[in-house]
Structure 1
């Protein structure tokens, strides 16, 4: 049954309606999983148009200057625009059980509290006070080097990227990339085309993988392949703040 809260919060309704059992199985297997449509066409267009309003952002990063690849991205100021904040708040309760289960398999103590607001407070108390939601813009020839979004000692092990354009129509190329390094094994690379408005859930830093000795840590990095034509915008949701 649809609650009043879900009625007035379409982003929570979309998140809650996802097959979280299937998503959990997929990210356990691959380190990443496609999410359902989280933003409508109109909402993706509205968020794309925010890019030119510098009042909404705390920092602009020229990727080539920092040797991160080629392209540009901006960190939103906090508080975030409504769709961004609502999506983070809706996603966190579904991601939390996955994160805690991963840490349990690895024999680690999970530090994440029950709510996103409490987790943000922990980040702030540890000196990680800078907002981390990202709006990225790529043009033809742009790409994003393999990396991890680590901004301090406190890290949430899962994050989400949402495509704001139509692949194959607004741009070609620009596939989302994941590379996994398993212990004593060669790296495994995967590429994914994320439909417009859909999210992609992936590993921030490392995750548990089954081994002959039980559970081992597999390091993960992510990036974006070269955009061959057109323009590609994405919204990145990172669930820990930055130093």
Structure 2
């Protein structure tokens, strides 16, 4: 079995606060893996460690079988080219048009000419279901459209892995379904590895190939959606049922 990312006994502390206490996760290549759990369990911090934005305090992170801990300079830059990231709020540049936002990584990291960049931008926008909006500013777009533009920018350099940080946060149920289908369709069309950080249980059970649930700094269950549905793990059962009763502390 080949893995795109492996986390081995990953610990992360901020001062005396221990957020991860030994995380072990294997992210399968060319599949969609959801990482779920209550707020404050360090899901987004884990995402940053996967792509080298933040080092673990202890443990190892492997991408394509090679450790990325301690990478610097050119080696770290090359690593990050393997990743596309869709941030929670899409993180678009407000002063740039849609076209300029999607073209930004191409201008920064390639030597392509204007015609080549134009064709790539239009193609990536088409892939996420957007046409004839390249001259608009982010302020002129709906929340769902901004997410799509953010995804188009994330796939502009044709990464091997896409990381999604809470992609459905702040969206209505219909738009959540649109984003779910977008994640699924993008993975299938580009045959890439997708890691989704979320507390959206419905989305995870619907489109994930694999799921990991974090609680109290550890993975309480890793498996398929069917395994999550059938488990008797009390932490998972409480989280899936959105109940106050159970071992998960409600603060």
Taking structure 2 as the reference length, the TM-score comes to 0.31
Which has more radius of gyration?
A: 2
Taking structure 1 as the reference length, the TM-score comes to 0.32
Judging by fraction of residues, say which structure has more strand: 1
Judging by fraction of residues, say which structure has more helix: 2
